[in-house]
Amino acid sequence: MDRITIGANKNKEQSSLLLKMANRHGLIAGATGTGKTVTLKVMAEQFAKAGTPVFLTDVKGDLSGFISKGSEHAEVTKRVDYIGLKDFKFEKLATVFWDLYGEHGHPVRTTISEMGPVLISKLLDLNANQEDLISLAFKYADEEGLLLLDIKDLKSILIYMEDSDDEDLEEYGNIAKSSVGAIVRRLTALEESGGEEFFTEPALEIKDLLKKDFSGNGIINILDARKLMLDQRLYGTFLLWFLSELFEELPESGDLDKPKMVLFFDEAHLLFKDISKSLLEKIEMVVKLIRSKGVGVYFVTQNPVDIPSSVLSQLGNKIIHGLRSFTEKDRKAIRALSSGFRVNPDFEFKDVVGELKVGESLVSFLDADGAPTVLERVLNCPPISKFGPADENLVKDAINNSPFLDKYKEPVDRESAFEILKVRKKKELEETESEEAQKLEEKAKKKKSSRQGPVEAFFKSMLRAIGSQLGRQIIRGVMGSIKRR
């Protein structure tokens, strides 16, 4: 198997995506209700059948049907015959469910250190001065060997840097109380909105997403993002972190016959919403370079203009469902998009894209030489697994019987910055209190000595001298010098 079939054109000629070109990334776009989800599902199934693990985000809760077989339907039979799918049969596929909150899948966790100062700053929506302070906190943690695992670790370092009189902290400059207070408040809000579950251990290991089943099919990993979608900033930051982790963890692979892994990011516009220029450059870099790690990234969105042009230009494989053009801005975007395809003499992109039926799409893939194919209008393949969500009891059974249940079920809170700084602060407080007590004692002694009479002072002085002389004699005796007297 060297390709996956997406559909067939009016001449019943199949339109397929070459597996060796699948890591050149792609786009699935279309208005609500035009068939994007089915296309995502069909592609995920075929990648898995080809032995490539898949990771996808489920923002509506309707992709769990992978764990159940599809069922006979007249429309499905009609499509299968039209496209010429000779080996088509309904199947269920091995699926693992994940959830940042641990409610509808295994908990997905990471640590503050792994997220890094740039993404943490984005997540908290910090200004430039506050971003600098976060970077300083990470720098101090690295230099002191303090682990930043959860939110309380980061809060404790910020508070410690603000309160401490440690001379080693002078090189970090003035730590503004107002900035620390603002960051701590935002960290507390993040903690209460689900960050406490996300930022902890055991952290997700990328290798666990690269598994295959006993038949050699790639595992389909579903991230339940229904609740996560309510916090769009956390959703976007998570996806950025996930891409970065893949880029950092996976070795260089060069050109492969098929991808090591394929990612589908639904509601992709959230990745780029209100994004800074520096962060966008980071995404561009990761998307551009991650294909050399054997990973294909597919963005799913309602409108291609949601994807910055610098990123869109790197997406070689495109599937466009119906686009609506209600405004001049929409029509302008469609004209701009059409210029990126090889022209099909039979139709104009801008004329056809608005009249596509549900289940139809305009497709263009990269050929064996890396050149885009001529734009085709196709009827898309039906899925082999159940369309729509699976029964909730089946999903629960899949989670409870997963090989990752014991590994990720319970959080672990090992010693890190919070615990170490708590002990350090207590010790510093005790030392300060001891120094203050000693000063008070010395002050009291001086005051008492100043009230002594001349006779009392004389006798005390004489006694101290005698005691000192006896002490010297004893020491000499102990050291063996008495025999020499």
Q: What pLDDT sits at residue 134?
A: 93
- Measured CA to CA, the distance from residue 340 to residue 364 in angstroms comes to 10
Q: Phi/psi of residue 372, each to 5°?
A: -70, 140
Do 102 and 237 share a structural domain? yes
Q: What pLDDT sits at residue 44?
A: 97
pLDDT mean across residues, the chain: 87
Q: Which residues of 182-211 are buried (b: 16+ CB within 10 A; e: fewer)?
A: bbbeebeebbeebbebbbbbebbeeebbbe
Do 246 and 339 share a structural domain? yes
Q: Is 272 part of any domain?
A: yes
pLDDT digits (tens, 9 = 90+) for 363-405: 999 999 999 999 999 999 999 999 999 999 999 999 999 999 9
| Tokens encoding 260 | 């090591």
Do 291 and 331 share a structural domain? yes
Q: What pLDDT sits at residue 335?
A: 83
Quick one: average pLDDT of 329-335? 81
Q: What pLDDT sits at residue 169?
A: 61
Q: What pLDDT sits at residue 424?
A: 87
Q: Is 436 part of any domain?
A: no
Do 186 and 228 share a structural domain? no
Rounded to 10°, the helix 112-124/232-249 angle is 140
Q: What pLDDT sits at residue 231?
A: 84
Residues in CB range of 93: below 8 A, 6 or more apart: 45, 48, 49, 66, 67, 217, 220, 385
Conformation bin of residue 176: beta by default, left when phi > 0, alpha when psi is -120 to 50: beta
Do 148 and 96 share a structural domain? no
Q: What pLDDT sits at residue 444?
A: 75
Do 349 and 258 share a structural domain? yes
Quick one: average pLDDT of 218-245? 89
Which whole-number Å values give the CA distances from 321 to 17, 149, 336, 387, in the listed order? 17, 43, 16, 18
Q: What pLDDT sits at residue 473?
A: 39
Strands (E), 195-260: 220-224
Q: What pLDDT sits at residue 477?
A: 37
pLDDT higher than threshold 80 for residue 275: no
Domain CATH number, residue 384: 3.40.50.300
Q: How many domains does the chain have?
A: 3
Do 362 and 272 share a structural domain? yes
pLDDT higher than threshold 60 for residue 450: no
Q: Is 232 part of any domain?
A: yes
Q: Phi/psi of residue 27, each to 5°?
A: -135, 135
Q: What pLDDT sits at residue 479?
A: 30
Q: What pLDDT sits at residue 28?
A: 96
pLDDT higher than threshold 50 for residue 466: no
Q: Phi/psi of residue 58, each to 5°?
A: -110, 100
Classify strands 95-99 and 220-224 as parallel, antiparallel or unpaired: parallel
Do 276 and 131 share a structural domain? no
C-beta of residue 26 within 8 angstroms of C-beta of residue 300: no
Residue 434: exposure state from Cβ atoms within 10 A (0-12, 13-18, ≥19): exposed
Residue 146: which domain range?
112-199+416-422
Q: Is 401 part of any domain?
A: yes
Q: Is 430 part of any domain?
A: no
Q: Residue 278: which pLDDT band, with cuts at 50, 70 and 90?
A: confident
Quick one: average pLDDT of 19-36? 94
Do 210 and 193 share a structural domain? no
Do 129 and 23 share a structural domain? no
Q: Is 223 part of any domain?
A: yes
pTM: 0.85
Facing residues of 155 across strands? Answer: none
| Tokens encoding 329 | 């801005």
Torsion of CA 3, 207, 39, 332, to 10 degrees: -100
| Tokens encoding 130 | 């506050």
Q: What pLDDT sits at residue 475?
A: 39
pLDDT digits (tens, 9 = 90+) for 63-120: 999 999 999 999 999 999 999 999 899 999 999 999 999 999 999 999 999 999 988 9
Q: Is 156 part of any domain?
A: yes
Facing residues of 222 across strands? Answer: 56, 97
Q: Is the C-alpha dihedral spanning 129, 133, 139, 142 positive or negative?
A: negative
Q: Is 213 part of any domain?
A: yes
Do 167 and 86 share a structural domain? no
Strands (E), 252-334: 261-265, 295-301, 317-320
Q: What pLDDT sits at residue 379?
A: 96
pLDDT higher than threshold 70 for residue 19: yes
Do 211 and 142 share a structural domain? no
Quick one: average pLDDT of 418-437? 83
DSSP character string of 182-204: HHHHHHHHHIIIIIHHHBSBSPP
| 3-state SS, residue 78 | helix
- Measured CA to CA, the distance from residue 331 to residue 373 in angstroms comes to 24
